[in-house]
Amino acid sequence: MATFAKPENALKRAEELINVGQRQAALQALHDLITSKRYRAWQKPLERIMFKYVELCVELRRGRFAKDGLIQYRIICQQVNVSSLEEVIKHFLHLSTEKAEQARSQAQALEEALDVDDLEADNRPEDLMLSYVSGEKGKERSDRELVTPWFKFLWETYRTVLEILRNNSKLEALYAMTAHRAFQFCKQYKRTTEFRRLCEIIRNHLSNLNKYRDQRDRPDLSAPESLQLYLDTRFEQLKIATELELWQEAFRSVEDIHGLMCLVKKSPKPSMMVVYYAKLTEIFWISESHLYHAYSWFRLFTLQKSYNKNLTQKDLQLIASSVVLAALAVTPYDHMHGASHMELEKEKERNLRMASLIGFNLDPKRESREELSRSALLSELVSKGVMTCVSQDVKDLYNLLEHEFLPLDLASRVQPLLTKIAKLGGKVASASSLPEVQLSQYVPVMEKLACLRVLQQVSQVYQTMKIDVLSKMIPFFPFSVVEKLSVDAIKYNFVCMKVDHLKGVVLFGNLDLDSDRVRDHLTVLAECLNKARSLIYPPAKKASKLSDTLPVLAETVDKEHKRLLARKSIIERRKEEQERQMLEMEREEESKRLKLQKITEEAEQKRLAFESSRREEQRIRKEIEERELEEAQALLMQAERKNKKKGKKPIIEGEKVTKQAILDLALSEQVRERQEMEKKLQKSAKTMDYLERAKREEQAPLIDAAYQKRLVEEKVLHEHEQQQEIELSKQHYAGDLQEKNRLVRMLAAKVELQKSIESRRDAELNQLMNEKQEQVKQIKSAQEKERARRRKMIFYLNLEEERQKKLQEEEDARKRQETERKKKEEAEHRAKMDEIAEKQRQREREIEERARKEREAQLGRFAEPLPRPSADLPPGGRAVEPVAAAAAASAAAATAGSGSVPTTAKYVPRHMRDKNKGPGATPPEPDRWGSRHDDHPPPPSSDRSDRWRDDRSSSRPSFGSSGGSRSTWSSSRVSLRGDR
């Protein structure tokens, strides 16, 4: 970990590392600086370091480093300059968003480039291979490689910023802005999972805020600004949840908003409540909770009517129609019929909860079903005057379904009304926060309600009806759907009917299915008989009180016994709870004791470490004090010299003088001089104020008198100018009137002149137009001739090009034929030359064979033993004569055999060849490095020289002379070179 004397040095070091490509090392250096304990005081360079730090974190996608750095920077500047933290976080968010957008645009550009790479092939081979191996397309791969890492980093950025700002009252606006941007990110890219996590994060932040109320920088929700920010965030969350169709999360957002309103005991603005109830209507409609949907619409109608001053009659009618149709859409029977006590209690709690969300305060001790019900809502709509605002079609539908008894014609009358209602709807212009209202969504529910009403009314009139007749009475659905609807109605005791498919009839009011009604009839009969009996035999007036008290007493005893048993169980449960609490307290005390012991040990270790560090600090401080004392003595001497020059006495005396005391003295001297200067300035300012005030007091009456005089003069001047203007205007008017009378007599001449000029100009215009048309015709004819000429020229040029092209092709064909013919002739010539060379080689081989046979014959003749040298040779002498004789004999034999050159196989030295010269001898052999006519060098070895000599000797007899042999040898050598 590198240490730096100044933060600027760390920034310079990081820039140097970035320039050489070591970004990770630069990030680590800045991270070490930010997390170091040496720089806990905020400085301006730290802000620039944080800007560079977050840039590196974004480029390298190091979210953990960014979080650690921002937390440390929050600790540094929380109490000093919190706006610096805000700027750094904004820069961090901007960089992350920009990188994600760049990756997305790069992926799109790559995908577009891949799409237009090859217009004929559907896919490239590598794309096909990758798609078969990985099972993903090119766009999915590019997103996974380019976009997904940056989107993950951007999501991590939002989480980090929200975590850092969650308990900061000074940056509530930035927290809300980050939450809004995170919501927009989830909406733009359809990130449903991240949206759920984001909602949970914000929800946990608020719960922790309420749980830990003793935090120092905790936001105050009672403040209007803070409450508005939190409410705006929750409403944005609700909007995005409904747009993403996350209805469960939308309902939880509604609960969050309601909890926030209950927490601060303050209702938001009406415009926000309109959005709240509008979203509630959507949520309840999706969840098929039609009763709560209708109540939400009713609250929405009340808000709009009360607070929206711009609401038009058409919009009010549309909203009121939605309210009535939503109330009619509630099923007309109770779903809790025949439910158990536990289910009823759960339903009661649910009704209380939903009523609280909608804004209705119910008494929990009463039956909530009596409060939130279809009948109660319809009666309230009538009493509040909602029915007077609805359209006539909706009002007729309400009357038919709720008040009319038309078992045979109900469906046929309802159907045209539903057709008209389905066409109603649209955007509410005067309430922009409301969604688009479409009454067509209620048509299917109204058809089901009409079907149930028909079944209910038919069951009260008829006992038996054919299935075909009933199907014709209900044109909305086939009979199978009607049968399914009737099952629920029978289950919840709305109608009593039975379908007999074997006979094809429907039975209404069957006693087998109407046991509850029979029971009610018997109860009513028993009550009537009791009343008749009491009338016939009235009871005695003075009945015994004991007989009335005894049954009640038994019930009281039973109740008291049950109460005592319940009390006993409660006491036992309390004892168990108390014992459990005691055990928990003991465990907590034990844990506290262990924790305290651990803290004590850690404190002792810290104390020892602190003592050692304190002793070291004392030593260092003592050295520093000694050094400062020396500097203070020097400063004191300089101060004394200055005071002597000014004639002042030294203020500090004694040996124990420090550098800080000298500095304090100089500072106090400067402060004293500044105060004296300020006193002088104040005194002079007071004097100047007094003089200025006196001057203005003297000037005030003079200025007032001059002003009054000026008013009188300007008034006289204004009246005079006004009178002159009036006289001048009268003179101008009289002159203009005379001028008009003078010019009236020339009006007829002016009109005639105007007409003559207009007629002349019309004639000129017609003439110019005719000339222009004639000119245009000439230009058109010339252009047509030019086009015809160009077409002919192009035709002739095309013909000439085709002819030239044909001639060129013929010339190319002729050249190809000529080239092929030459190649064929060269091949034939080469074959003839090869044949001649082969014959020449055959002849040479025959000559070589004949020469070899002759040489073998000569070698066989000389194979006889030579005579031994005589004994009378002188000492040191050599047998020259036999050798010379042998050489001469061989030369003679060769001359006799070939006529030119001896064919001996032995090498003859040059001095011996000089001796054998004669008139009939062959010319001497040239020197090895000498020149010959045929430029053939002698062979280097004896065998090759002999063979070469034999070849020459064998070739000469066929030509008869040396000159002829030489020329023949040259020609044969040339032919052999050609063969090579």
Q: Which residues lie closer than 8 Å to 535 by C-beta, 6 or more apart?
A: none
**CB atoms < 10 A from the CB of 610, how many?**
12
Q: What are phi and psi of 340, to 5 degrees?
A: -75, 170
pLDDT band at 214 (very low <50, low <70, confident <90, very high): low
Q: Which residues lie closer than 8 Å to 657 by C-beta, 6 or more apart?
A: 629, 632, 633, 636
407 token code pair:
């078992």
Highest mean pLDDT among 201-205, 347-351, 507-511, 974-978: 201-205
pLDDT value of residue 101? 83
pLDDT value of residue 558? 80
Mean pLDDT, the chain, whole residue set: 77
- Residue-wise pLDDT for 360-384, tens only, equals 765 544 444 446 788 888 888 888 8
- Answer whether residue 94 shows pLDDT above 90: no
Identify the residue whose tokens are 């124990």: 656
Beta strands in 491-618 (DSSP E): 497-500, 505-508
- Answer whether residue 856 shows pLDDT above 50: yes
CB 195 within 8 A of CB 240: yes
pLDDT value of residue 511? 41
What mean pLDDT is predicted for residues 241-248? 87
Q: Which three-class secondary structure string do you get for 180-210?
A: HHHHHHHHHCCCHHHHHHHHHHHHHHHHHHH
d(CA 577, CA 572): 9
d(CA 831, CA 833): 5
pLDDT band at 138 (very low <50, low <70, confident <90, very high): very low
622 token code pair:
């003592």
Letter for the amino acid at 572?
Answer: E
Of the listed ranges 73-87, 445-459, 902-916, the least confidently predicted one is: 902-916
d(CA 391, CA 394): 6
Better pLDDT: 611 or 892: 611
pLDDT value of residue 345? 77
The helix (run of H) or strand (run of E) holding residue 245 is none
The helix (run of H) or strand (run of E) holding residue 664 is helix 659-743
- Answer whether residue 587 shows pLDDT above 50: yes
- Answer whether residue 937 shows pLDDT above 80: no
What mean pLDDT is predicted for residues 386-407? 87
Nearest to 361 by CA among 375, 376, 346, 351: 351
In the chain, % of residues over pLDDT 70: 75
What mean pLDDT is predicted for residues 768-788? 94
CB 650 within 8 A of CB 643: yes
